[in-house]
Amino acid sequence: MGGQAKRARDADAETPLDRGIRLIRPGVLHLCVLSLVINLLSFSTVLYSMEIFNRVLSTRSVNTLIGLTVIFLLGTGLAAALVALRASALRKMGIALNEEVSAPLYDLVYSETLETRRYDTMGAFRDLETVRTFLSGQGLAQLLDLPWIPIYVLVAFVMHVWLGLALLASVVVVLLLAALNEVFNRSNLKQAGIFAEQSQKLLATATREAETLHVMAMVSGFRERWLAAHHHATAWQLTAAHLSKGISLVLKFWQSFTSFGLVALGCYLAIGGHVSPGAMFAVMFIGGACVGVVQSAASQWPSFLRARQAFGRLQALFRAAEAAPQRLALPRPNGHVEVSGLALTAPGSSRFILSQVSFELPAGSATAVVGPSGAGKSSLVRALVGIWAPALGSVRIDGSELQHWDADALGQHLGYLPQNVELLSGTIAQNIARFGAVDDEAVLEAAKLAGVHEVIQQLPQGYSTEVGEGGSALSGGQRQRIGLARAIYGNPSLVVLDEPNSNLDAVGEAALAEALQALTKRGTTCVLITHKANILTLVDYILVLKDGTVSTFGPRDEVLSGQGAGRSSASAAPQQLTTRHAAVG
């Protein structure tokens, strides 16, 4: 029983990467056997040359020549077929590992990016590609040939001890040269990688902020920063390439020297009658093949190190991720929101953005969150929809903390319109339907409720119009209204809107007002951040944030009259409150 429990714990601790390796491990064992057969078949050239010199030339037998040639061709053809089979098996192994790891890695990177706001976590996919490429390419194949080098050396020793010693010395020299290349180039490649990463980040920033750089004449200065990093990366890469090329030329010379040096040694031994005449040519093939395998394997050593480092980073990423507990299937919430003692910090920071925030919103109510810039309004929004987890306190919907919900299940009951609306590449209908199965009736209902149906109908392809990357094919107002339709798609229980009227004209604001009234009428709880006072007439409650705490909260009329409840319920004249709302962002 104890052993079964231990195995169960080990299985639970197994990462997706472990499962992928376990999946392909039998294939690696089969490939080792296949590599042994391939290397044994490579001796067909050796045997053919020895028999030609030792038997055919001495007997002048054409039949023997034909028979040996047929056998040689069969062996060579079989070896070529096995090499092709091995290459195909390696590609399938790489695909199998990728399919096992890619989906959980996507989920992990997504959650890490959401939690830390560090977009460089996408480098995990480059690490996965590095591992997959090494497994499915020539890197692993050539390393699999390396363990069978003793067979070549052993055959040379069988011919004559001097031939075996000479071949062994040649192999040692190749390994030493490869090790020197690795030692001397390690720092060069490391520096090249650092500057290359800086260059890529700067280029990504320039692409993302192209309009800002262009308008404010920042292109030239930013280009100089990118060029400096790019030139440093190129310089270090060039230094590494020069050193590698020099050692590569030495290795190439040594391979030729080994082949012909062994021929000379074999000839000397043949003259003395220590080996047969065919052995001196056979040992040339053995030496060339042996040193070639070692050299090829040594050239793949940097690839192996990169793959091993990438594997380690992926494994550490999976190990560091906490196992997500199983979530219960909770019923559809009515939309009753309760925030209690909420304290919030930004990802990667220990400074509190919000502190001791408490309020309660009945289901079907509409609440406006107002306050000066930097008061924490957008941070509160992120907590209400579960993007940021509370550092202290809780955010509950119908009595259940948001963290108790499965994210996908909760998302079906939430609607969210961020301050900067970005639509995803696809059609308008797909964006409104949140890239799930497009329910035509639900899409039309959401678009009409958001007051954007007529706008969409005027577009060339209607609901099938491609929005472009980030919604670039649409205006800011169109993106915001389509984003609103996406937020209210599927009749969510809670809709949170971050400045939903920032890009709207009078017609758009009228549509927004109608949508809010319709949503609250059917029981949807609405929370919106606004800096426009005219929308306050549409809400039931007003929450005033100041310096990350609740300054005032209460029914709309009481807050506007200066009687709202809160930590600081100092009266504020309606004119003063209106001015404050108009000034905040």
- Residue 74 is predicted with a pLDDT of 85
Residue span(s) of the chain under CATH 1.20.1560.10 come to 10-322
- Residue 123 is predicted with a pLDDT of 74
Print pLDDT tens along the chain (585 aa): 444 444 444 445 688 888 888 888 888 888 888 888 887 887 777 777 777 776 766 677 777 778 778 888 888 888 888 888 888 888 888 888 888 888 888 877 776 665 555 545 567 888 888 888 888 877 788 788 878 888 888 888 888 889 889 888 888 888 888 788 778 877 887 788 788 878 887 887 787 677 677 677 777 887 888 888 889 888 888 888 888 788 878 877 887 787 778 888 888 888 888 887 777 777 777 877 787 777 777 777 777 877 888 888 888 878 876 655 556 667 888 889 999 998 888 766 778 888 898 999 999 999 999 888 888 888 888 888 888 888 888 898 888 888 777 777 788 888 888 888 878 888 888 888 888 888 888 889 888 888 888 888 888 888 888 887 767 778 877 888 888 888 888 888 899 888 887 777 777 788 888 888 888 888 899 999 887 777 888 888 999 988 888 888 989 888 888 755 544 433 333 333 333 333 333
Q: Look up tokens 């080996």; give the residue.
A: 275
Q: How many angstroms separate the CA atoms of 41 and 48, rounded? A: 11
CA distances from 390 to 16, 113, 362, 396, 544 (A): 29, 17, 21, 11, 20
Q: How many angstroms separate the CA atoms of 96 and 134, rounded? A: 13
C-alpha torsion angle, residues 269, 270, 275, 280 (rounded to 10): 90
- Residue 327 is predicted with a pLDDT of 63
Nearest alpha-carbon partner for 203 in 225, 186, 221: 225
Q: How many angstroms separate the CA atoms of 121 and 108, rounded? A: 9
CATH topology of domain 337-561: Rossmann fold (3.40.50)
Nearest alpha-carbon partner for 84 in 38, 25, 145, 140: 38
Within 117-159, residue ranges assigned H as helices are: 123-136, 138-145, 149-159
Q: How many angstroms separate the CA atoms of 444 and 537, rounded? A: 28
φ, ψ dihedrals at 3, nearest 5°: -65, -40
- Residue 285 is predicted with a pLDDT of 78
- Say how far residue 330 (Cα) sits from the centre of its chain: 31
pTM confidence score: 0.62
Residue span(s) of the chain under CATH 3.40.50.300 come to 337-561
- Residue 571 is predicted with a pLDDT of 33
Decide: 528 and 368 in contact? Cβ < 8 Å.
Answer: yes
For 365-493, strand residue ranges (E) read: 366-370, 392-397, 400-401, 414-417
- Residue 362 is predicted with a pLDDT of 92
- Residue 479 is predicted with a pLDDT of 85
CATH architecture of the domain 10-322 equals: Up-down Bundle (1.20)
Decide: 546 and 583 in contact? Cβ < 8 Å.
Answer: no
Is the sign of the CA dihedral 300, 301, 304, 305 positive or negative? negative
Query: Which 3 state secondary structure label does DSSP give 575?
Result: helix
Pairing of strands 352-361, 337-345: antiparallel
Give residue 66's identity as a one-letter amino acid code: I
Q: For helices 219-271 and 161-208, what crossing angle results, to 10°?
A: 170
Decide: 484 and 450 in contact? Cβ < 8 Å.
Answer: yes
